[in-house]
Amino acid sequence: MKRVMFIIGLCIAITSLAQADLIGRYIFSNNSNLDGNDPAANANDDNAIDPSKTALLPGQTTTLTNYTTYDKGINGIMFDINSLLGAPTASDFQFLVGNNNNLSSWTTAPALSSVNFRSIGSGMDRVTLIWSDNAIQNQWLQITVLPNINTGLSLADVFYFGNDIANDSIGLNMITAPVTPVVPVPGAVLLGMLGMGVAGLKLRKYTK
């Protein structure tokens, strides 16, 4: 009976904890006059979000709304996430850059300058990713938010933004984003999300 109750409790815990979800995905012009020409991450970056741009999602084909012409390239990405479990770091993400439909030829993106997050209310956090000016330009950036103990995601979330400084539709190729493979959260990480050690299965509380 105790074993049955433990399994039921485990299922309830998994259901309640694996609910993190990305709500919004944005590109912004960091270090521009819109954010006070400040390269650091702060709330002023919200003023630099380009409302005319939307993330390219798996299975979609690119349109003008998926890339910017900012002369400093892609130097700022944000996303809103609910039920964030921990403080995200660079290791919670994977980034690729490329300019064709063959993702196997894409390369690892330049390293992030910073990762920051802040509460925006109602259980939501806004995560800000910043790169050096012009480190990523005239190409596509694939952003993968990994499922783990920090993000609270049960599956990886993948999206894309592009940049074409010349805006000549030649330097930047239009692509079709591949359908994202299902990448489930590893079992050991899931136990960690539940606050359990893999060996001892002792409950402990995680706080943000």
pLDDT tens for 113-138 read: 999 999 999 999 999 999 999 999 99
Same domain for 96 and 192, yes or no, is: no
Same domain for 179 and 136, yes or no, is: yes
Q: What is the mean pLDDT of the chain?
A: 81
Same domain for 105 and 134, yes or no, is: yes
Backbone phi and psi for residue 30, each to the nearest 5 degrees, phi listed first: -70, 150
Same domain for 97 and 173, yes or no, is: yes
Same domain for 150 and 179, yes or no, is: yes
Q: Which structural domain, as residue segments, surrounds residue 66?
A: 21-183
Same domain for 124 and 55, yes or no, is: yes
In the predicted model, is pLDDT for residue 107 greater than 50? yes
Same domain for 125 and 115, yes or no, is: yes
Same domain for 177 and 198, yes or no, is: no
CB burial class (10 A; 0-12, 13-18, 19+) of residue 14? middle
Q: Nearest Cα to 22, choosing from 47, 48, 58?
A: 58
pLDDT band at 169 (very low <50, low <70, confident <90, very high): low
Domain count, the chain: 2
**What secondary structure letter does DSSP report for 43?**
G
**What secondary structure letter does DSSP report for 139?**
S
CA separation for the pair 147, 183 (Å, rounded): 8
Same domain for 160 and 204, yes or no, is: no
Same domain for 173 and 208, yes or no, is: no
Same domain for 204 and 106, yes or no, is: no
CB burial class (10 A; 0-12, 13-18, 19+) of residue 204? exposed
Same domain for 12 and 27, yes or no, is: no
